[in-house]
Structure 1
Amino acid sequence: MNKDNFEEYEDPSLYDHENDSFMDDIDFLKKWATKQSGTIIDIACGTGRATIKLARDGFSLIGVDVHGKMLEAARKKSLEQNLDIDWVQQDCTDFHLDKKSQLIYSVGNSFQHFLTNEDQDGLLASVNRHLEMGRVFIFGTRFPSTEELLQPSTEEYWRSYVDPNTEEKVDVFTISTYDSLEQIQHYVTIRKFLDHNGNILEEKRTNIRLRYVFPKEMERLLEAHGFEILHLYKDWNETPISADSYQMIVVCRKDR
């Protein structure tokens, strides 16, 4: 895991402000969780957005992440809600737990943080090692469409939101450059914090690199690590994947 790729996660509270309301994957995960028993493992769990929501519904969870600040935020939130979640700080390319699971998942497009072939191999080998035979690994990643990869390399408006602490507007912009040899998108995220008159009070820039995997490549990669793809969707509503997809939701089963 490339630990120099963590700028986006140095402020867990900002991360939560921007991501904690995302719910699209939760019902999907619950559907599969009800088919399993025992402890569920959340890989690259971050501040526990999905982990905590599943634990609230009575499922037993372990959250694994390499980033100490994100895990500390997750631990604090679970304690405040009196949830018994085991938070483990380990590199997801080579994690070692004392149990196996019938369901392992990774959401938030975390699969894209495994930038090299070696990182991907390590992740999938670790997942396979901790997954019971015939059981399921679920994850999502952005779909490498032409629109996604060939974004303008100029500063482009992305979204706006209101900072819940200051109640002031934040405009978010991105600059994107795709390296087709490495299959890595280099993103600069620019957050402009505005006062009530629209004047810029502060501007923050963070960098992140994300790996893209094409569907046939994913099929070969998972097969090589002992997984069979059961379902391939374009969203968490189980819509079949198509050329205009923005995401690739993978449900695969350990078959060896």
Structure 2
Amino acid sequence: MFDPIDLSAYADAVLDELASGEPQIDGTILLDLARQTTGSILELGCGYGRITIPLAQRGVQNLTGLELSAPSLAYARQRTGDLQIRWVEADVRDFHLDQQFAFIFARGCVFDFLLTRVDQEAMLACVHEHLSDDGQFLFDVCGTRPDQMIERPEPVPWYTVTHPNGRQIYASGTYEFDHIKQLWIQRCFKRWDSPEGELVQPPWMLTLRYTMPVDLETLLHYNGFVIIDRYGDYEGNPITQENPSHIYLCQKR
């Protein structure tokens, strides 16, 4: 039995979509790999279909999106239209679809939501079960630089967006770190019309686990994967210490 994943940050899929913005799809290694795939494709932690739907709109077929958040998945189904996408409500740590996939991917630091080694290995076991022998697994994690892990006990500005009702939303947040458990804890405050305005929703907390690159290599190796490439962004550039995320392309070993 796993501890529940706190998805309160995604309870309002419209606010999630506003915060996430338009994804980069064209000119990415993800789109290239998806188009090269001749079999079925599975996205883990697909949310409201932010990546899955644009892939389908670009002609990628045989797509399945798996997501734990019921509100996000409901919004994904609402946005699907006539596109042929299979949506599955399930936990990335515990799913069994009786099917194998030629390409599995998780974009958006989905792996970082897994706060323990047991959780991480459970997801990797599910990927291993569902990945075809010659299939590919692509996922990203947040880049980790100790010199940038600075606690912010007071809210700092994050972003400003315009709600469909025409009002401005000002988002700010705090950061803290638990370096024993390797956790990054964020608290978000969204307010109407000004940084001091009325709260749009109750403040939410998001906890992510950061995993150092060498530790991740070890974790992948002992859970049956080999890294065949790594990237510093979805345009396929090499990893540097400045990259905000690290992307791994793996196969079964």
Q: Quick check: TM above 0.5? A: yes
Provide the C-alpha distance between the structure 2 equivalents of 1:235 and 1:209, rounded to a whole number of angstroms. 23
**Structure 1 position 87, deviation (Å):** 0.7
Partner in structure 2 of residue 95 of structure 1? 95
Conserved 8 A contact 2:28-2:236? no
Provide the C-alpha distance between the structure 2 equivalents of 1:117 and 1:96, rounded to a whole number of angstroms. 20
Q: Is 177-186 or 67-76 further displaced after alignment?
A: 67-76
TM-score, normalised by the number of residues in structure 1: 0.91
Q: Tell me the amino acid that sits aligned with residue 218 of structure 1.
A: L
Partner in structure 1 of residue 197 of structure 2? 200
**Structure 1 position 66, deviation (Å):** 1.4
Q: Tell me the amino acid that sits aligned with residue 221 of structure 2.
A: E
Q: Tell me the amino acid that sits aligned with residue 202 of structure 1.
A: L
**Structure 1 position 177, deviation (Å):** 0.5
Match of 2:244 among 246, 249, 252: 246
Provide the C-alpha distance between the structure 2 equivalents of 1:127 and 1:83, rounded to a whole number of angstroms. 25
Conserved 8 A contact 2:41-2:63? yes
5+ unaligned residues in a row in structure 1: which ranges?
none
Partner in structure 2 of residue 48 of structure 1? 49
Q: Tell me the amino acid that sits aligned with residue 191 of structure 2.
A: K
Partner in structure 2 of residue 140 of structure 1? 140
Partner in structure 2 of residue 13 of structure 1? 14
Q: Tell me the amino acid that sits aligned with residue 63 of structure 2.
A: L
Partner in structure 2 of residue 214 of structure 1? 212
Mapping of residues 178-197 of structure 1, within 5 Å = 178-194=177-193
**Structure 1 position 157, deviation (Å):** 1.2
Q: Is 142-151 or 39-48 further displaced after alignment?
A: 142-151
Provide the C-alpha distance between the structure 2 equivalents of 1:35 and 1:199, rounded to a whole number of angstroms. 49
**Structure 1 position 115, deviation (Å):** 0.9
For these two proteins, the number of residue pairs brought into alignment is 250
**Structure 1 position 25, deviation (Å):** 7.8
Conserved 8 A contact 1:143-1:248? yes
**Structure 1 position 112, deviation (Å):** 0.8
- Closer, same or farther: CA 25–95 of 1 in aligned 2, 3 Å: farther
Partner in structure 2 of residue 126 of structure 1? 126
TM-score, normalised by the number of residues in structure 2: 0.92
SS of alignment partner, residue 154 of structure 2:
coil
